[in-house]
Amino acid sequence: MIGRPLNRPIRDWRRLRVWVIGASSGIGAGLAQALWARGARVAVSARRGDELAQLAAAHGTSALALPLDVTDAQAVQPALDRIVEAWGGVDLAVLCAGTHQPVRAWELEAGAARRLIDINLNGVIHCLPPLVARLLRQGGGGIAVVSSVAGYAGLPTSLVYGASKAALNNLAETLYLDLAPRGIGVYLVCPGFVKTPLTDRNEFPMPALISVEAAAQAMIRGFERGDFEIDFPKRFTRLLKCLRLLPYRWYFALVRRGTGL
């Protein structure tokens, strides 16, 4: 019904079992810290095991550090099994493993493009079969797909990155249509510019740049409201959504003027 949350709002994080994939730095690490502060149990995964261990060390039995390379489809199920063995299940999985490399059309290299797609898009797809099967067996839980406002429309330097995020937007929408009737929450997270090691690679002004901590708080508020799309900061995401409604002639001209690219 119009007006009702699209997902069941999360009222209390205490003892909830959350798996953050892509948590060694950036938004994932910030989200994990914010959730521990709210009393959640958080399993953190990424390729860099040493950083995961440091992140989890201060949180005792409320933390699990599970090294995972999302490009290895066979590695996801054993990691999930460890969470189930330790905590009996998972209530929310946040899929935010990803990478970014600014690319212009004349710099495009097929091998680098494949690697980016393998992490940003295939990495999410690799996580879905075991997660969906687990949540259906449990009869509840949720999956959050972390995309980007770069998936809304074409932007300079986002040649392959934006395409991978546009695919994630479509993927999350279809997941919702399939899983919501079965009691499984689905969230699409679309951050604007967040100060992380990845955005430090950008050589252009980043409007409405926010901190990792602010991004984590925005995500948590979205989960608590039961939103499907969690986009932030609104002053930037609303502008991009409005621009996307314009005819291409106007859209291209305004993006060129706004970015200088």
Per-residue pLDDT of 38-95, as tens digits, reads 999 999 999 988 889 999 999 999 999 999 999 999 999 999 999 999 999 999 999 9
What total of structural domains would you count in the chain?
1
Q: Compute the distance between CA of residue 79 and CA of residue 153 in angstroms, rounded to an integer.
A: 34
E strands, the chain, are 17-21, 41-45, 63-65, 92-95, 141-146, 184-191, 229-232
CATH of the domain at 27: 3.40.50.720
Structure tokens, 218 = 């925005």
Range of the domain at 235: 17-259
- Stated pTM of the model: 0.94
Q: Is residue 6 part of a domain?
A: no
How do strand 63-65 and strand 229-232 relate by DSSP bridges?
Answer: unpaired
How high is the pLDDT of residue 34?
97
Q: Is residue 9 part of a domain?
A: no
Q: Is residue 163 part of a domain?
A: yes
Q: Is residue 8 part of a domain?
A: no
Q: Is residue 159 part of a domain?
A: yes
Percent of the chain with pLDDT over 90: 82
**Sequential pLDDT tens for the chain (261 residues):** 457 899 999 999 998 999 999 998 899 999 999 999 999 999 999 998 888 999 999 999 999 999 999 999 999 999 999 999 999 999 999 999 999 888 999 999 999 999 999 999 999 999 999 999 999 999 999 999 999 999 999 998 899 999 999 999 999 999 999 999 999 999 999 998 888 776 656 666 667 789 999 999 999 999 999 999 999 999 999 999 999 999 999 999 999 998 887
Q: Is residue 105 part of a domain?
A: yes
Q: Compute the distance between CA of residue 169 and CA of residue 174 in angstroms, rounded to an integer.
A: 9
Q: Is residue 5 part of a domain?
A: no
How high is the pLDDT of residue 258?
84
For this structure, is 248 an active site residue?
no
Q: Is residue 182 part of a domain?
A: yes
Query: Which residue is catalytic, options 161, 187, 248, 251?
Result: 161
Q: Compute the distance between CA of residue 24 and CA of residue 46 in angstroms, rounded to an integer.
A: 6
